[in-house]
Amino acid sequence: MTKQKFSFLFFSLIVALFVQAGEINRFNDGWSFKKGPFTNSNSLLLTNHIGGKWEKVKIPHTWNAEDMQMPMANISAFRNPQERFYTGQAMYKKTYTPDISLKDKRVFLRFEGVGSVADIYVNNQFAGRHKGAYSAFTVEIGRLLNYGKENEIVVVADNSCRPDVIPVNNVLFAQYGGIYRDVSLIVTEKINIAVDDYASPGIYISQGNVTAKSADVAVKIKIDNKTGLKQAVKLVTTIFEMDGKKVKAKKETPVELLPQGRLFFNHSFVISNPHLWQGLEDPYLYKVVTQVISDGNIVDEVVQPLGLRNFELKAGDGMYLNGKKVPMYGVCRHQDWWQKGSALTNAEHDADLAIIKEIGATTIRFAHYQQAERIYAKCDSIGFIVWAEIPFVNSVSTQETENAKQQLTELIRQNYNHPSIYIWGLHNEVYSPFEQTIPLTTTLNDLAKAEDPDRYTASVSGYNQIDALANNNADVQGVNHYFGWYGGKISDIEGWLKKIEKDFPDHKVIFSEYGGEANINQQKEEVGEVGDCCGFNKKYYEAFATKFHEIQWGAISRNRYLLASYIWNTFDFATPMSSQGGVHSRNMKGLVTFDRKTKKDPFYWYKANWSKEPVLYLTQRRVIDRENEYTSVTVYSNVGVPRLFVNGNEITDFSKGTTDVHYIFNSVRLKEGENTVEVKASAKGKAYEDKIVWRYSADNKKSADNSQPVERMGEHIGL
C-alpha cells in the first residue's frame, strides 16, 4: 500500500497540502470545548469531573475570535485592557476508536498550530507538550491507545503570556488561543521517513549552482527504523516535471537500516537545462517524490516542491532572481480576520493572497510569526518572494532563549523546501536589555546558518539608525520607521534615505515597515504632513494615510539603495492592548479593512504603481461632504493621461505628483449641492472611467488641521 506524507498538487496554481503520513486523516471533527479557568489541576486529566456545558466545535477554533477584537460594552469599567479578553487554559476533548489493524503501526497526532502552549493527554496519560502558538508539532500516541476501543484525547491549550515563550506579551498582536489550525492523524509503518523531526516533512532539498544550463540538487532523507531489526530497503527519489508525469531525474539506492538511531541518506542530482522558478513571471515547480521500498512494496512516500532558483541581494542595488533584477514591491500580512481571529480556513488564506496579488506586490513579509502551511505552499505556486520569521518581538524577558531557538528550528525545518522563501527573520524591534538581545540574535543567526546556509537572515530595528546596538547581527538589516506618524513629518524620508546611503553604502538594508493609520469613518479634505497619533480620541484620517503613501512610495521608488520595502500592513488587524483612532483593539494601518470589504485609497495608489492591471481611480471618494468651494482632485492612472470632468465640464489644469501615475487637478470649483466628478482614459483601444459624487455647501464648517507632532520616545511599538 502506498503511503503518502506531504502531497502537493501544483496544477493551475492550486496547492492541496496533506500533512505527514503513511495514511492521513483530518482530525478536525468531533471535538468538544470548555473554557477555563479550571480550579482543580487534576481535572485536566479527568474531563468527566468538569462541570458546566461543553461546546461542540470544529477545528480550526479559537475562543478569542471576538473579545480580543472588540471590547465589552462597559469597557470603561476595566482598568487593564487585559481584562477585556480571556487568557488562560481551555480544554478540547475528542473520542477516537483506532482499528485493531493499527496496533503494529506508528500513530501520531500532528497539530499545525495551538495557541500558545499545548499539553496533550491520551486516556489520562501525558503524551506531549509544545510551547509556541505558530509552528506545527507532532506527538506520537500509538503506545497510549487501546486498539479496537474508545479512547479519549484531551488537549489543554493555554494562551497566557509567559516569559519563556515568544512572543512574551499581547502588545503588537493578539495571541488568540485554541486549536486554531488543522489537526491530522498520521499512521505509518515502523519503517518510515521521519514524522517527528520538528514536524518537518523529513526530507530536505538543497540546491546550488543554479543556472539556465544546470542545477545541483541534494535531497537529504531522514529514516526511522522501529522494527528492532536490521532491514534492507531501497530509497527512490524521482524528480517530476510540473505535470507530475514526465520524469526529469531519478535515483535509486539500496540501503541497510540499522535498528538503532535515526538514519540519514542523501540523493544528489545534476539537473540539465532546468526550468527555473522565476517568481510571479514563471513560478515553475518540479515535484520531488521520495519513496521507501521494502520487499517490493512502497512503505512510505514524501512529496515536496522544488523550485530551482538563485536569490542574490546586492548591497545598494536590489534583488536578483536567477541573475535578473526583480522589483521588491512588498507588503506585510497578519493572519487574523474580523470575528474569526486566527481560526482561518484555506478560503481566508487564499482570499488574502488574491488581494495581495491584485495590488501588484511581488514580495510578502509574513509578520510576525510562522504562518499557515497553506500560505507558503500557495506562495510557491503563485510566485511571491517570501520573508518568514519567528515571533521574537517587542520585549525581552531574558528567559526566552531556548524557546526562540526551538521556534526558529521549527520554522526552518518545516518550511525548508519552499522555494518562495528567501530570508529568515530573527527578531523585530527587540531592544533592552541589549545584554540579552545581542547575544541571542547572534545565536539565532548562527542557528539559522547551521540549519540553512543558503538563505539570508534578517534582524529588524524600530530605530532609524543602521548601526544601533541590536542591529547588524544578521545578513540583512531591516528598519521599521514611520516618518510623520510616530515623529517628524512624512517627507523626512527623503533626507533619511540620502543619509543612510551615504553613511552605510556596503550594508544590506530593507525598509521593513512603513505606514500610517486610516479609519475610513474619519474623513477630511486637507491634511498636513504630521499625523494625529496616538490615542483613542485622535483622528486617523484616510486622507493622511493617502498623502503618507503618495510621498513615501514616491521617495522609495526613486531610491536604488533599499533592497526592498514592505508596507505595514495589507490588512487592519487586532491589537488587544490598545485603543486608537476611535476604534478599540485595532491597528488601522492596513490598506484593506479588517473585514476585507473595503480597499482604502492607498490600496489603489499601490495598485496603480505596481500592478500590470489597468487602474483609473479617483481618491477621497468617502469625503462626500466638502468644505471647500475650490479643491484639488487626485487621480491615479496607469492607463495614460486622464481626462477630468466636473459636472460635465472638462478640467485640463493638472500637475504630476510623486510618480508617473499620480495626477493632481488644481483649483477645481464645486457648485452648491451635488457635484459629479468623472475621470476617463483609454489605453490599447479600451476605455476606462471612474465616477464619484461630492456635496458642497458654503454653510459647511471648515475645520483646521490641528495635528501636532508626536515625540518619538526611544522606540515605537508598532501600534
Catalytic residues: 429
**How far apart are the C-alpha atoms of 482 and 347, rounded to whole Å?**
32
- The CA-atom distances, in angstroms, between 689 and each of 459, 618, 660, 679 are 44, 10, 18, 5
Q: Which residues fall within 8 angstroms of residue 502, CB to CB, at 6 or more apart?
A: none
d(CA 92, CA 179): 8
- Residue 627 CB neighbours (<10 A): 17
Question: What CA–CA distances, in Å, run from 364 to 201, 232, 303, 380, 715?
Answer: 24, 45, 25, 12, 24
Q: How many residues does the chain have?
A: 719
Q: Residues 678, 708: contact at Cβ < 8 Å? A: no
What b/e string do you get for 592-620 counting C-beta neighbours within 10 Å, with b at 16 or more? bbbebeebbbbbbbbbbbbbeebbbbbbb
Whole-angstrom Cα distance, residue 696 to residue 664?
A: 20
Rg (CA), the chain: 27
Q: Could you check whether the bond before residue 283 is cis, i.e. omega within 30 degrees of 0?
A: no
d(CA 682, CA 642): 8
Q: What span, in angstroms and rounded, lies between the C-alpha atoms of 136 and 373?
A: 9
Question: Considering only CA atoms, which of 692, 718, 698, 619 is closest in space to residue 661?
Answer: 619
- Cα separation, 129 vs 119, in Å, equals 4
Q: Which residues contact 650 (CB under 8 A, 6 or more apart)?
A: 643, 644
Which segments of 148-246 are extended strands (E)? Answer: 151-158, 178-179, 183-188, 191-193, 203-208, 214-225, 231-240
| CA distances from residue 344 to 181, 351, 390, 686 in whole angstroms, order as listed | 7, 11, 19, 39
Cell digits of residue 106: 506508528
Asked if 123 contacts 357 with a C-beta cutoff of 8 angstroms, the reply is: no
Question: What's the CA angle centered on 517, arms 514 and 521, to 5 degrees?
Answer: 155
- b/e map of 26-42 (b: 16 or more CB within 10 Å)? ebbeebbbbbbebeeee
129 close to 119: Cβ distance less than 8 angstroms: yes
C-beta of residue 314 within 8 angstroms of C-beta of residue 333:
no
Three-state secondary structure call for residue 521: coil
Number of Cβ atoms within 10 Å of the Cβ of 585: 22
Q: How far apart are CA 522 and CA 223, in angstroms?
A: 59
Distance CA 127, CA 123 (A): 9
Residue 535, phi then psi, degrees to nearest 5: 155, 165
Phi-psi region of 261 (alpha: psi -120 to 50; beta: other; left: phi over 0): left
Burial 153-191 (b: 16+ CB within 10 A, else e): bbbbbbbebbeebbbbbbbbbbbbbbbbbbbbbbbbbbb
Please give the C-alpha separations between residue 511 and each of 142, 184, 401, 519, 618, in angstroms, as whole numbers: 48, 38, 27, 24, 28
